[in-house]
Amino acid sequence: MGPGDTLVIQLYGKENVAHSLVLNREGQIQFPQIGPVTLAGLTFAQAQKVIEQIVSEQMIGVKASVTMGALRTIRVFVLGEVTRPGSFTVGSLATMTNAIFASGGITEVGSLRNIQLKRNGEIVTTLDLYSLLLHGDTSKDARLLPGDVIFVPPLGKTVGITGQVKRPATYEINNDATISTLINLSGGLTNNAYLPISYLVRHDSFGERTLINIDLSTNDGKKYELLDGDLLSIASKLDFINNQVTLAGHVKRPGPRSWGQTLRFTDLVPTPRELLPNPDIEIALIQRFSLETRRVEVILFSPTNAWQSPGSANDPLLQGFDVIHIFNYEDKRDQQLAEVVKQLEAQARFNERKKVVSINGSVRFPGVYPLADEMTTQQLIQLAGGLTESALDSNGEITRYGIDAERRRSVEHIAVNFSELPVQLEPGDTLQVKQIPLWKQKETVELVGEVMFPGTYTILPGETLLDVLKRAGGLTPHAYPTGAIFSRLELRELEQQRLKELTQKLQSEIAAATAAGTTTGQDQLSLEDAEQLIKNLNTIRPLGRMVIDLPNILKDPTNHNFQLESGDTLTVPRYKPSVTVVGEVQYPTSHFYDQTLDALSYIERSGGYKKSADDRRVYIVKANGSVMQPESSAWFRANREKIQPGDTIVVPLETDRVDKLTVWSRATQIIYQAALGAAALKSF
Give the mean pLDDT of 403-430.
84
What is the model's pLDDT at position 521? 46
Residue 670 has pLDDT above 70, yes or no: no
CA distance 23 to 4: 5
**Cβ-contact 572, 448 below 8 angstroms:** yes
pTM: 0.55
Residue 410 has pLDDT above 90, yes or no: no
**Cβ-contact 343, 368 below 8 angstroms:** no
Q: How far is CA 260 from the centre of its chain?
A: 38
Give the mean pLDDT of 109-123.
91
CA distance 567 to 442: 11
Predicted confidence (pLDDT) per residue in 387-396, tens digit: 887 777 778 8
258-267, 411-420, 623-632: the lowest-pLDDT one: 623-632
How many helices (H) and strands (E) would you count in the chain? 18, 35
Give the mean pLDDT of 356-362.
91
Give the mean pLDDT of 675-683.
51
**Cβ-contact 545, 491 below 8 angstroms:** yes
What is the model's pLDDT at position 659? 47
CA distance 279 to 466: 46
pLDDT band at 494 (very low <50, low <70, confident <90, very high): confident
Q: Which domains does the chain have, with CATH numbers?
A: 6-68 (3.30.1950.10), 73-152 (3.10.560.10), 157-236 (3.10.560.10), 244-435 (3.10.560.10), 495-682 (3.10.560.10)
What is the model's pLDDT at position 232? 93
| Mean pLDDT for all residues in the chain | 84
Give the mean pLDDT of 627-645.
59
CA distance 259 to 264: 9
Report DSSP state, residue 120: T
Predicted confidence (pLDDT) per residue in 135-184, tens digit: 888 888 888 888 899 999 999 899 999 999 999 999 998 888 899 999 99
Residue 479 has pLDDT above 80, yes or no: yes
pLDDT band at 684 (very low <50, low <70, confident <90, very high): very low
Predicted confidence (pLDDT) per residue in 253-268, tens digit: 999 999 888 999 999 9
58-72, 366-380, 639-653: the lowest-pLDDT one: 639-653
Give the neighbor-by-neighbor strand order of the sheet with 569-572: 455-459, 443-449, 569-572, 485-487, 545-546
Inter-residue long-range contacts of 244-249, CB under 8 Å, 24+ positions, other chains counted? 244/320, 244/321, 245/318, 245/319, 245/320, 245/321, 245/322, 245/323, 245/324, 246/322, 246/323, 246/324, 247/324, 247/326, 248/323, 248/324, 248/325, 248/326, 249/324, 249/325, 249/326, 249/327, 249/328, 249/336
pLDDT band at 510 (very low <50, low <70, confident <90, very high): low
Residue 59 has pLDDT above 50, yes or no: yes
Using alpha carbons, select from 382, 399, 388 the residue that is nearest to residue 435: 388
